[in-house]
Amino acid sequence: MSRGYSLMELVVTLAVLAVAAALVAPAVGRAAHDVRARAEAGAVAAFLRGAREQAVTRQQALDVTLDRDAHALLLQPARREGRPAAPTRRAFQARLRVEGSPTATGVTFMPHGMSTGARFTVETPGARPYVIAVDPLTGRVTTQRGPR
């Protein structure tokens, strides 16, 4: 009785492991894209919530606008407030796409908590998009996964 494995047993085992690795690798890549998109969507939503809180606290209308060229969201006093100030910037990764709704590229938060309303979409290649909605009546910011 010999001890050890035959060459055929080793080849079959390696083939099974190769098939298993080929099936798992794409799922791991998709999961990484999903995590990146979820983190970016959470950061954009947090920035919008912070802008609303600042508008209420300062009793001043604040604009959050999308600067596609600089890959950033800009927070500054509303244009009608008349006081030019250096905007607060929140950069996002260039491989992520954040777009405003078709009618606007930003949102204004009012001192009493309301907003002009907006929808932003955060996407990465290979991942489902996230939709960030700002309710016009309450200024509430919500995040949900979009369709594939």
In CATH, what number is assigned to the domain containing residue 103? Answer: 3.55.40.10
Tell me whether residue 1 is in a domain: no
Q: Can you tell me the distance from the alpha carbon of 64 to that of 78, in angstroms, rounded to the nearest whole number?
A: 9
What are residue 143's DSSP bridge partners?
A: 132
Q: Average pLDDT of the chain?
A: 83
pLDDT for the residue numbered 101:
60
Domain extent, residue 31, equals 7-145
Tell me whether residue 2 is in a domain: no
Q: How confident is the model at residue 124 (pLDDT cuts 50, 70, 90)?
A: confident
User: Is the per-residue pLDDT at 27 higher than 90?
Assistant: no
User: Is the per-residue pLDDT at 25 higher than 80?
Assistant: no
Structural domains of the chain, count: 1
Q: pLDDT tens for residues 61-99?
A: 999 988 888 888 899 998 765 555 677 888 887 555 666
pLDDT for the residue numbered 52:
95
Can you tell me the mean pLDDT for 100-121?
Answer: 84
CA distances from 147 to 55, 70, 98, 128 (A): 32, 27, 16, 7
Residue 49 CB neighbours (<10 A): 15
- The Cα angle at residue 77 between residues 96 and 48, in degrees rounded to 5: 35
Tell me whether residue 73 is in a domain: yes
Tell me whether residue 40 is in a domain: yes
